[in-house]
């Protein structure tokens, strides 16, 4: 048994639970914890420029590898409230991150002390556990419970708030005999798997909808094996993109109102049975439920019992971790032998995938955004890790890019906060320093937390940030068409220091360079590919983020709609892979 401060005991628990990296901003009320971090010397710390940025770095870190838990640290008061957006986006996407905040001493909590706020009450609706620890002896055990909560059942974030005097109090704790609590995850039974496969066997045109729960369970290989064994096409959700490679014959495309493929929507509408695994039936995926569900039988498997029936009542539901369910389904399916012949249905899905494309090859200047994604597909191989959050840039990226690995499309799916992309990309770089990380932002997302580029410069976290600049809040501008207005969404102005920008406003190149990074501006479509090549060279040479800003035409409407059978296609359509340069190689481009 050792005598140590409660803050040091908390650090010892972090180490025992596998934490090796933390992101944060120190302050007076959390300095004892930082002192313990320094004394330990075993947890690397990345200094963010904004505490919200630290929370998104922690998200990016968690989302990169199975088993990672990102940790973000801040002082009392506004540091905690700054983390709320990170807690929200982590909770919405079932991402475990640990937020640690300092707090005023216990004796002053009720006296409106400087920067004293009841952060645990504020965070409770967004966290699996949010607690202000009032007894020093409880500190290590509250952290033990925090890791248990983050890993058990539906993963999610936790906030632990530590009053200053609690951190400083000495307690008895033995880190050498500490053991993490056993994680609990529900698992499908054999009888449940038998029933699912019976229902699937009765279908003529079945699909699997693969959600982000499969990625959380690190079960993408089991999904592909099951799809191949049953010869059933797969439609990943946006959060499940990468569970099956885009060039796999059974990858049938994404469905939805925005982040979808023409062939994915057409295939879902043609199906008669849908097995959803680890998905939420989010409205950007389903659109109107009458259209989405009509004529189809649904099975829903999810780790969280209250998710089943939340959006619509499935014909059959199972509470199970996605990995456990897939393993049980595989075991039963192997025993059953050869499945029904679905070759005609699979061929129909492949035909749609080979022909129903959107055009990407535009040669005019100013550059059309579709051309940027075409060039990204050419420039970056199957191992690239894409990071994006919200806006027309993200929607078009999901429509036109290709993803071949789980955790290689790292996206804030439900919350979509502007500014998320840059700090999340830095968290990804920290988690996988050898990866090619490519972030994708519109100009407004990029401006929201642009200061975090300095973190990449200071800590040598190189990634490539593609900024598609139309000097507009493009998604909101497109949505305002129903109100016949274009109001408060234009970012353009005459920058007196950069007249060459022609009213595009902010000089992102100068800002990025001022923050210690490298930047390239592209105005001609034929310059995009050389810019990507140069950016990769600069990343290797200087080990800092490199921004490639592509100046777009001001207005381009991107395909979307209110129903999956009524998506507005604004640009000329490609009718075959021959006319769609981004078509997947194995499908005949």
- Does 500 lie in the same domain as 385? yes
**Residue 118 placed within a domain:** yes
| DSSP structural state of residue 472 | B
Least confident of 254-258, 289-293, 432-436, 575-579: 575-579
- Does 484 lie in the same domain as 386? yes
**pLDDT-derived band at 434, boundaries 50, 70, 90:** very high
As a whole-number percent, the residues of the chain with pLDDT over 90 amount to 84
CATH number at residue 161: 3.40.50.970
Residue 249 has pLDDT above 70, yes or no: yes
- Does 17 lie in the same domain as 88? yes
- Does 197 lie in the same domain as 165? no
Average pLDDT over residues 14-32: 97
**Residue 393 placed within a domain:** yes
The string of pLDDT tens digits covering residues 491-527 is: 888 898 988 888 899 999 999 999 999 999 999 999 9
The string of pLDDT tens digits covering residues 531-544 is: 999 999 999 999 99
**Residue 586 placed within a domain:** no
The C-alpha angle 461, 462, 467, rounded to 5 degrees, equals: 120
Number of helices followed by number of strands (H, E) in the chain: 23, 23
Return phi, psi of residue 73, to 5°: -130, 140
The string of pLDDT tens digits covering residues 337-395 is: 888 899 999 999 999 999 999 999 989 999 999 999 999 999 998 999 999 998 889 99
pTM of the model: 0.94
Query: Please, are residues 214 and 278 in contact by the beta-carbon 8 Å criterion?
Result: yes
Residue 19 has pLDDT above 90, yes or no: yes
Active-site positions?
25, 51, 418, 473, 476
DSSP H stretches of helix in 117-260: 119-123, 139-151, 164-168, 190-201, 212-216, 220-230
**pLDDT-derived band at 472, boundaries 50, 70, 90:** confident
355, 372, 388 — which closes off a domain?
A: 355
- 163: closest CA among 56, 5, 3? 5
**Residue 10 placed within a domain:** yes
- Does 367 lie in the same domain as 351? no
The string of pLDDT tens digits covering residues 49-87 is: 999 999 999 999 999 999 999 999 999 999 999 999 999
In which element (H, E) is residue 447 found?
A: helix 443-448
Structurally, the chain folds into a number of domains equal to 3
- Does 147 lie in the same domain as 208? no
- Does 164 lie in the same domain as 144? yes
- Does 341 lie in the same domain as 366? no
CB atoms inside a 10 Å sphere around CB 275:
27
DSSP helix/strand/coil, 47: strand
Q: How far apart are CA 125 and CA 127, in angstroms?
A: 6
CATH number at residue 198: 3.40.50.1220
- Does 321 lie in the same domain as 268? yes
- Does 306 lie in the same domain as 389? no
- Does 525 lie in the same domain as 418? yes
**pLDDT-derived band at 576, boundaries 50, 70, 90:** low
Residue 474 has pLDDT above 90, yes or no: no
**Residue 87 placed within a domain:** yes
**Residue 543 placed within a domain:** yes
**pLDDT-derived band at 1, boundaries 50, 70, 90:** confident
**Residue 589 placed within a domain:** no
Structure tokens at 499: 């007249």
**In the block, residue with structure tokens 């699996």:** 128
**pLDDT-derived band at 480, boundaries 50, 70, 90:** confident
User: From the centroid of its chain, how far is CA 366?
Assistant: 30
The pLDDT, as a whole number, for residue 570 is 83
Range of the domain at 203: 190-355
- Does 372 lie in the same domain as 349? no
The string of pLDDT tens digits covering residues 126-138 is: 999 999 999 999 9
């Amino acid at each position: 048994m050792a005598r140590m401060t409660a803050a040091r005991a908390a650090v010892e628990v972090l180490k025992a639970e596998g934490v090796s990296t933390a992101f944060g901003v120190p302050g007076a009320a959390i300095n004892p914890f930082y002192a313990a971090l320094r004394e330990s010397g075993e947890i690397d710390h990345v200094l963010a420029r904004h505490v919200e940025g630290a929370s998104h770095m922690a998200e990016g870190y968690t989302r990169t590898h199975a088993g990672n838990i990102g940790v973000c640290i801040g002082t009392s008061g506004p540091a905690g409230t700054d983390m709320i957006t990170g807690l929200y986006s982590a909770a919405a996407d079932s991402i475990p991150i640990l937020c640690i905040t300092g707090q005023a001493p216990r004796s002053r909590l009720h006296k409106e002390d400087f920067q004293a706020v009841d952060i645990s009450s504020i965070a409770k609706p967004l966290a699996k556990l949010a607690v202000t620890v009032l007894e020093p002896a409880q500190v290590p055990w509250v952290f033990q419970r925090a890791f248990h909560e983050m890993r058990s059942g539906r993963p999610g974030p936790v906030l632990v708030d530590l009053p200053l005097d609690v951190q400083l109090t000495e307690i008895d704790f033995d880190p050498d005999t500490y053991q993490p609590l056993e994680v609990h995850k529900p698992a499908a039974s054999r009888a449940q798997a038998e029933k699912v496969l019976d229902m699937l066997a009765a279908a003529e045109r079945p699909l699997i909808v693969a959600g982000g729960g499969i990625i959380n369970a690190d079960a993408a290989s089991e999904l592909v094996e099951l799809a191949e064994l049953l010869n059933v096409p797969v439609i990943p959700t946006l959060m499940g993109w990468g569970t099956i490679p885009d060039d796999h014959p059974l990858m049938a495309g994404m469905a939805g109102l925005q982040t979808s493929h023409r062939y994915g929507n057409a295939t879902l509408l043609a199906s008669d049975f849908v097995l959803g695994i680890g998905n939420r039936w989010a409205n950007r995926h389903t659109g109107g439920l009458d259209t989405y569900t009509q004529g189809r039988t649904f099975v829903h498997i999810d780790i969280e019992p209250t998710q089943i029936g939340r959006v619509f009542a499935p014909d059959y539901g199972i509470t199970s971790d996605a990995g456990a369910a897939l393993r049980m389904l595989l075991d039963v399916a192997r025993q059953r032998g050869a499945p029904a012949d679905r070759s005609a249905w699979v061929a129909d899905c492949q035909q749609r995938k080979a022909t129903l494309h959107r055009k990407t090859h535009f040669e005019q200047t100013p550059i059309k955004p579709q051309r940027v994604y075409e060039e990204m597909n050419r420039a970056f191989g199957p191992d690239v890790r894409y990071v994006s959050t919200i806006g027309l840039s993200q929607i078009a990226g999901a429509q036109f890019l290709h993803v071949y690995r789980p955790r290689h499309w790292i996206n804030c799916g439900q919350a979509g906060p502007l500014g998320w992309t840059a700090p999340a990309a830095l968290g990804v770089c920290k988690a996988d320093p050898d990866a090619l990380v490519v972030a994708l932002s519109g100009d407004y997302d990029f401006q929201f937390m642009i200061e975090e580029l300095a973190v990449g410069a200071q800590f040598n976290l190189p990634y490539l940030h593609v900024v598609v600049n139309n000097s507009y809040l493009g998604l909101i501008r497109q949505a305002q068409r129903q109100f016949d207005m274009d109001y408060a969404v234009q970012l353009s102005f005459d920058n007196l220091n950069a007249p060459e920008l022609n009213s595009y406003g902010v000089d992102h190149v100068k800002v990025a360079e001022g923050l210690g990074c490298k930047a390239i501006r592209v105005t001609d479509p034929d310059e995009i590919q050389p810019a990507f090549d140069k950016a990769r060279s600069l990343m290797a040479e200087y080990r800092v983020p490199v921004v490639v800003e592509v100046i777009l035409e001001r207005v381009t409407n991107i395909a979307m709609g209110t129903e999956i059978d009524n998506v507005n296609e604004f640009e000329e359509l490609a009718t075959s892979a021959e006319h769609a340069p981004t078509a997947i190689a194995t499908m005949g481009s």
